[in-house]
Structure 1
Amino acid sequence: MTGDEPLTADGNNLPGGPVIDFWQWSMSSLLDNTVRGLFAEYLVARALGVTHAGVRVEWDAVDIVTESGLRVEVKSVSFLQNWAQTRVSTPTVSIPETLAWDAHTGRYEPASRRQADVYVVCVLDVTDVADLDPLNLDHWRFLVVPTRVLNTEVPGQKSIVLHRLAALPGVTECTYTDLRDTVETVGTP
């Protein structure tokens, strides 16, 4: 889709604009938790050079598979939220073991595990709303976490606060421009 496609009914284009109007209406706040997560996946896919692979697959076992075959799970956290806050949030990252679902077969794997080889945690690292610009990638930092580190250091844990995750041995922080090389280096056993 390009965004120019019209909504139709009874074979006629409906007044009010094309599908891009829906995208703008529903996806314009990059601070919204769901939209920020999708945006983070896009940023990582773009940095890893895999946006050409087509439209993302909702509910696939992992968010991204690199050209080298690394399976990447993308997480997004922020100190600021889309609602009124009396103080900044304490970012927490979801890291549970899951049953993998294969979008191509429609089947689940029988055993739970962490599906990815590596996690990329995208941190919108701004604490003052006046400075907030999610489109400025200098406002983001990226933690690259090998799944083997999670399995060793926090086995069975379902979530972890950001500062504790960042302190785990083997976690590498990088900028957006270094993300591709860092993922390949850290994610390869």
Structure 2
Amino acid sequence: MRPPGGGRAHARAASGPGKKRLRHTLNASEYNNLFVEISTAKGHTWHKMARNITTESVKMRFFAEAFSRPLIDNTLRGLWCEFMIAEALGPECASTGFSWYPWDLQIGDGRTTFPERIRIQVKNSASLQSWNQANGQKTDPLFSLTWRKKPYYFERDDPGIPCETEGFLCDLFILCHHPVTDIGTADQRDPGQWDFYLLPVHGPNSAVTQAELQWAQQKLRETGRNSSTQRRPSTLRSGIRGRQPCEPVGISDLTIDRIRATFGTR
């Protein structure tokens, strides 16, 4: 857009009580990227005159602001964990969460079933949160493995994709735990600071006991509501209530072969 005045533009702030008068003379190039700040008694208002907004500029702005700090806001941390895992597993691992699948990641052809296809739900928890870093308060990590019904829209939106009527709606949970409690060294963007617990939910190495499974099925049947069994890093490592101990792996050991071995198959 060509500015008025033969390639030059004037930006003014109206004068009056409590207002400051500004005047800028701009050439056409400056005009295209101009933001004029008008200071008033009520605060600051930004008036956009003209600017070239592109896909790349929005992407850069989003990533620069969303992931510029070592402690990731928990509304975004789940996505970060999903893509950490996807990157570790390589091109065979697809992200499915954006398609509103009940699972977040998938290995293999979506039209097949386990073991050709492995569906993964990703959960995350961190000892430090972005909102309590000033007071140093720590969060006690807790993960929920939820038994639920298949979403009503799944058959409509994804015909031909196998999915059970009810269940955990995945083959494997990967529980991501960021255990660092030192605010000076914690960086949740660093894949090397995370622990990953691999919990298969069926087969001979299932991390869910038969008693937990029966309880979840009964609760859903009687109440129609989702039911969850919970895990903490401390009890995962030690193993309680008939569960086998589970040691975490680091990002460098998170491979498709390792995942298949977790089920007892390769």
User: What TM-score, normalized to structure 1?
Assistant: 0.76
Q: Which has the higher contact order (CA 8 A, sep 6+)?
A: 1
Check 1:138–1:20 CA distance in 2 against 1; reply closer, same or farther (3 A cut): same
Q: How does 1:7-156 map onto structure 2 within 5 Å? A: 14-15=51-52, 18-24=57-63, 27-28=66-67, 31-50=72-91, 53=94, 56-67=97-108, 68-84=116-132, 85-101=135-151, 102=154, 103-105=157-159, 111-147=165-201, 148-152=206-210, 154-155=212-213, 156=216
- Give the letter for the 1:174 counterpart: V
Structure ID, larger Rg: 2
Q: Percent identity?
A: 21
Q: How many residues matched?
A: 177
Shift of 1:89: 0.6
Q: Deviations over 1:96-129 (max 9, x none)?
A: 1122333524x9x684311111111111121111
SS in 2 for 1:171: coil
- Describe the shift of the 1:124–1:110 C-alpha distance in structure 2 as closer, same or farther (beyond 3 A): closer
Aligned counterparts of 2:172 and 2:95: Cα–Cα separation in 1: 21
Asked if residue 174 in structure 1 is aligned to residue 249 in structure 2, the reply is: yes
Find the counterpart in structure 1 of residue 235 from structure 2.
164
Q: CA RMSD in A?
A: 3.1
Alpha-carbon distance change, 110 to 184 in structure 1, aligned in 2, over 3 angstroms: closer
Supply the distance in 2 between the matched residues of 1:54 and 1:63 (Cα, whole angstroms). 6
Q: Distance in 1 between matches of 2:96 and 2:167?
A: 25
1:25-59, Cα deviation, whole Å (9 max, x unpaired): 76325521121111100011111114774675243
Give yes or no for contact 1:99–1:111 (8 Å, CA) kept in 2: yes
Cα deviation, 1:56-105, whole Å, max 9, x if unaligned, reads 52431211111341111111110001112553110111211122333524
CA distance in 1, matches of 2:182, 2:165: 43
Q: Runs ≥4 in structure 1, deviation > 6 angstroms?
A: none
The aligned counterpart of 2:22 is none
- What are the ranges of 5 or more consecutive residues in structure 2 without an aligned counterpart? 1-49, 109-115, 217-227
Structure 1 CA distance, aligned partners of 2:95 and 2:165? Answer: 29
Shift of 1:150: 1.9
Q: Which ranges in structure 1 are unaligned for 5 or more consecutive residues?
A: 1-12
CA contact (8 A) 2:196 2:248 kept: yes
Task: State whether residues 45 and 64 of structure 1, in contact with CA within 8 Å, keep that contact through their aligned partners in structure 2.
Answer: yes
Distance 1:93 1:52 in 2: 23
